[in-house]
C-alpha cells in the first residue's frame, strides 16, 4: 500500500512553470503548483467553501479561488485576502528523478 511519501504524483516535466493540476491521493485531492521557485502542494479544496482551487487563478505566488475571491500564498497556504480565514493546508514536495511525491 502506498504512503504519502512514496506515492508518485506525476513527473516534473508534465507540470510547466506557471501551471497547476490536481491529483487524487487516497481520499484527498492535492493541487500541485509549479512556480519558477519550485513545486508546491496544497489541498485542492478551498478552506472557505470547498470550491476546487484547480479552477482558480494563479497570479505569481498567489492563488485566487474563483468562487468568492479568497487568495492564498502558494508556498505557505496563508490567506492573503479573504473571505477565507483559514489557511490552506500545504504539503512539502519531494522531487526524485523528476518524480513528484510528498514528504512523509
Ligand atoms: S470557496 Fe473559495 S473563496 Fe469561497
Q: What is the pLDDT of residue 20?
A: 96
Q: Which CATH architecture has domain 10-96?
A: 3-layer Sandwich (2.102)
Q: How far is the CA of 83 from the centre of ligand 1 (A)?
A: 7
> Whole-prediction pTM value?
0.90
| Structure confidence by residue, pLDDT tens digits, 33-90 | 999 999 999 999 999 999 999 999 999 899 999 999 999 999 999 999 999 999 999 9
Q: Using a 6 Å cutoff on CB, does residue 82 contact ligand 1?
A: no
**Cα distance between residue 54 and residue 93, in whole Å:** 17
Q: What is the 3-state secondary structure (H, E, C) of the chain?
A: CCCCCCCCCEEHHHCCCCCEEEEEECCEEEEEEEECCEEEEEECECCCCCCEHHHCEEECCEEECCCCCCEEECCCCCEEECCCCCCCCEECEEEECCEEEECC
* pLDDT at 6 (0 to 100): 63
**How far does the centroid of ligand 1 lie from the alpha carbon of residue 96, in Å?**
33
Rounded to an integer, what distance in angstroms lies between the CA atom of residue 76 and that of residue 87? 8
Distance in Å, CA 73 to ligand 1 centroid = 14
Ligand 1 mean position, distance from CA 71 (Å): 9
Candidate of 48, 62, 81, 82 to mutate for ligand 1, largest count of ligand atoms within 8 Å of Cβ: 48
C-alpha cell at 15: 507540470
- Sequence ranges of the domains in the chain: 10-96
User: What is the pLDDT at residue 1?
Assistant: 39
Amino acid at each position: 500500500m502506498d504512503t504519502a511519501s512514496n506515492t508518485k504524483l506525476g513527473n516534473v516535466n508534465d507540470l510547466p512553470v506557471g501551471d497547476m493540476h490536481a491529483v487524487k491521493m487516497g481520499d484527498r485531492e492535492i493541487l500541485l503548483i509549479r512556480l519558477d521557485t519550485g513545486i508546491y502542494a496544497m489541498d485542492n479544496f478551498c478552506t472557505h467553501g470547498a470550491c476546487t482551487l484547480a479552477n482558480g487563478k494563479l497570479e505569481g505566488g498567489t492563488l485566487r479561488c474563483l468562487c468568492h475571491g479568497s487568495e492564498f500564498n502558494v508556498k505557505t497556504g496563508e490567506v492573503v485576502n479573504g473571505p477565507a480565514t483559514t489557511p490552506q493546508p500545504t504539503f512539502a514536495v519531494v522531487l526524485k528523478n523528476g518524480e513528484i511525491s510528498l514528504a512523509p
